[in-house]
Amino acid sequence: MFEADEHQRLVQETARRYAQDALAQVAAQLDREGRFPAEQLRELAELGMMGVNIPEEYGGAQAGAVAYALAMMEIAQGCASTAVTMAVTNMVGETIVKFGTPEQRRRYVPELTSGRFAAGSFGLSEPSGGSDAAALRTSARRDGSGWVLNGEKQWITSGDRAGVIIVWARTQPGSGSHGISAFLVEGGQKGLHLGKREDKMGLRASSTVSLAFEELRLRADQLLGEEGHGFAIAMAALDGGRVGIASQAVGIGTAALRASVKYAKERRAFGHPIGDFQAIRFMLADCDTQLEAARLLALHAAGLKERGRPFSREGSMAKLFATETANRVCDVAVQVHGGYGYIDEFPVERHYRDVRASTLYEGTSEVQRVVISRDLLKDR
Amino acid sequence: MHPVYYPKSHIAPAARLYSSMQIDLTEEQKLLRETCREFAEKELRPNARRWDREHRYPADTVKKAFELGLGGVAVPAEWGGAGMDNVAYALAIEEISRGCASVGVTLSVNNSLYCDPVLKYGTDEQKERWLKPFATGEKLGCFGLTEPQAGSDAAEQRTTAVRKGRSYVINGTKNWITNGPVADAIVLFTMTDLSKGTKGITAFVVDTTTPGFLKQKADEKLGICASPSCTIFFENMEIPAAQRLGGEGEGFKIAMSSLDGGRIGIAAQAIGIARAAFEEARDYSKVRKTFDVPIAQHQAIQFMLADMATELEAARLLTLRAASLKDRGLRHTRESSMAKLFASEAANRVADKAVQIHGGMGYSKELDVERHFRDARITEIYEGTSEIQRLVISNALLK
């Protein structure tokens, strides 16, 4: 119960060593320069990290959802921006494996897992609608055997770097969630316009852009899954995505806690290391306890996913709890560091900014509470 | 820089059908949980409010619980126990406490704080007399560590045991002794050397009928009113040296090791109380109407319920993980403290929200939620306050 097996530990150890030896060394610089971690992502692909839970036949590591969660926790300790880029790419790859035709899988997934595509993107949010995905306005109209795509997407992680973008569009005007379909838009396709790159508080080395589609022509084989099934595909992808973001949050929180423990032992006040003061110790004990709970929630949800069991509620619980916990932990970390927590010489200032996105993307905390309470209150 | 630690091909294992992260309960564990759930539903829930009001220890019902094997869940069958593990124990205490938190702690003390140290540190002769009948549930045990001047700081205790030939003579006072008024024996902590602090603590196992063992009247408490506790005086109580548990000076180690397990029990108790409060609030929200709709349709209520359920899930995972470490013989001090700290504080938040969702009815003795609210409060205090748990956790973190 709750113990990683040998394979899972190998993946975790690989991720840990790369995160500590490579990512942690450059994270501050990538953040400061707002530089996309292209080289790091290629190296992660070589280590199997761009398809941890993707079958070997598509170039994945085929190590399972739990190994993926463990890897994400490690990578996020090194660089949260790289981690979120990796998370979205894994989610896109898994979604194509799950819902794509054999031809679509062969065409796109090995590109993602090998790093030949710098990233994959997930195009659901729009300027006028994030949480309320069923209200999206981007449209795809039939044109011969294919489709023509028009509309706008916003907050698209790696949208300017992606080799493939899953784009959700309305194929039946005036319908609710039933009239939505998913498409595989290829990077550089005619009619795909890159909007501005967002200037963000944190995760500054990840690229977040808006996209516009202007009479973008899609072949018939760019439809993912069946027409009208897009909403279900999005929700299924996000169930897994939320375990990834929960794990990312655990990683950021763990990095902030470790930095704080180290600092508390070194920094002196009133003749003692501040780690001797109960006010500091108890804050750190609470952080450690809550992170442990968050870790178990994330691994529990990943375990359910790995066994093909329903895990919507557990994924949302993990995401809600882990992201809110990680925000509290990073806040404590800044407090423990005092003024040094507020300047960029120490990593906690970056963790504090990076972690703030985690309660917002892939479903805000409020959306998670909607998912959880709906499940609790449904009549059984 | 081009670090390649393990090429992809080395990572890739065959697709596994099994994930060790899953909580996989054995059939035996599931069966015990189901049995306890039924017992709680039938025997505990219908009576718990009355026992609470009358401050009555439900001796007959505790006997029935013992008949289900709940006297020593993790005690091997050869010593009269159910021969199961600590995961099963945690599941059982959660279910029992969901029905009645007082019975939950009665059982938890007998299992974790009485049977466990006798099993771990007792000689076979001691186990024959002081473990078997307690694990089978013929008799009930208690645990005497706390004193009026020494709760969290066990090194400050002043009950003394003085060697006299083949006996010890014990003098002192213990208080807040759960099960004290009804117990048949106690695992008792004394100082055999006042100059040595925690290294001067020695444990004994003592029948409560021993001359000089003086039970005082039961405590009047805020909650868990059907679980009797009391102060005990020891006046020149003479006991054979053969009743010493472990060696002289080993008492502190025995106490701490017992509490590592006890905290799993209290965490499970807290989860049981919180689950009762949560389930009652959830059900009430579907029938109670305001502004023409069931209050469950208001997002303010929905979100409270979502937070309650999430915290309960986190608390249960922490608790089962600590239990699972204990089952594998691994050190679990930190994990038990985390489970106890988080579960007890979460239980208080959950019980508080349950009162809020019930409105005025949550404050009334007509329903159970006000009892859950009172019962939950003790879980942050006994078997190590939240502050003691934070000490334990931060010591591990900052060592």
> What pLDDT, in 10s, does the model give residues B169-204?
999 999 999 999 999 999 999 999 999 999 999 999
Q: Give B311→chain A minimum CA distance, Å.
A: 8
Q: Do A306 and B24 touch (CB under 8 A)?
A: no
Q: SS3 for A218?
A: strand
Contacts with B342 from chain A: Cβ below 8 Å? 289-290, 293
Q: In Å, how far are B41, B270, B271, B336 from B376, measured between CA atoms?
A: 19, 6, 9, 18
- List of domains in chain A: 6-119 (1.10.540.10), 122-227 (2.40.110.10), 232-377 (1.20.140.10)
B399 touching chain A per CB within 8 A = no
Tens-place pLDDT, residues A108-148: 999 999 999 999 999 999 998 777 888 899 999 999 999 99
What was the pLDDT predicted at B6?
A: 52
B390 touching chain A per CB within 8 A = yes
Q: Do B23 and A300 touch (CB under 8 A)?
A: yes
**Mutation choice for B interface testing from A372, A374, A378, A379 by most B CBs within 10 A:** A372
DSSP line for B96-164? HHHH-HHHHHHHHIIIIIIIHHHHHH--HHHHHHHTHHHHHTSS-EEEE--BTTBSS-GGG---EEEEE
What was the pLDDT predicted at A104?
A: 98
CB-based contact A224:A257 (threshold 8 Å): no
The neighbouring-strand residues paired with A194 are A211
Question: What is the rounded CA–CA span in Å between residue A256 and residue B396?
Answer: 17
Q: Is the pLDDT of residue A202 over 70?
A: yes
B294 touching chain A per CB within 8 A = no
Question: pLDDT band at residue B98, thresholds of 50, 70 and 90?
Answer: very high
Contacts with B394 from chain A: Cβ below 8 Å? 281-282, 284-285, 288
Residue B95 burial (CB < 10 Å; 0-12/13-18/19+)?
buried
CA end-to-end span of chain B, whole Å?
Answer: 34
Question: What is the rounded CA–CA span in Å between residue B399 and residue B395?
Answer: 6
Q: What residue in A sits closest to B396 (Cα-Cα)?
A: A285
Question: What is the rounded CA–CA span in Å between residue A41 and residue A22?
Answer: 11
Q: Which residues of A are catalytic?
A: 362
**What angle do helix axes A80-99 and A64-78 make, rounded to 10 degrees?**
160
Q: Give A22→chain B minimum CA distance, Å.
A: 8
Closest CA to B313 of A333, A375, A163: A375
What was the pLDDT predicted at B152?
A: 79
A223 touching chain B per CB within 8 A = no
Q: Give A12→chain B minimum CA distance, Å.
A: 10
Tens-place pLDDT, residues B248-298: 999 999 999 999 999 999 999 999 999 999 999 999 999 999 999 999 999
Strand boundaries in A237-299, DSSP class E = 268-269, 272-273
What was the pLDDT predicted at A175?
A: 81
Q: Do B302 and A56 touch (CB under 8 A)?
A: no
Joined together, the tokens standing for residue B4 give 């390649």
A368 touching chain B per CB within 8 A = yes
Question: What is the rounded CA–CA span in Å between residue B229 and residue B145?
Answer: 13
Q: Do A293 and B394 touch (CB under 8 A)?
A: no
Residue of B313, B335, B383, B387 marked active site: B383
Average pLDDT across chain B, whole number: 94
User: A with B: how many residue pairs have Cβ under 8 Å apart?
Assistant: 186
Q: In Å, how far are A16, A27, A361, B338 from A255, measured between CA atoms?
A: 12, 12, 20, 19
What was the pLDDT predicted at A85?
A: 98
CB-based contact A163:A112 (threshold 8 Å): yes
CB-based contact B183:B141 (threshold 8 Å): yes
ipTM, 2 dp: 0.91
Percent residues over pLDDT 90 in chain B: 91
Question: pLDDT band at residue B57, thresholds of 50, 70 and 90?
Answer: very high
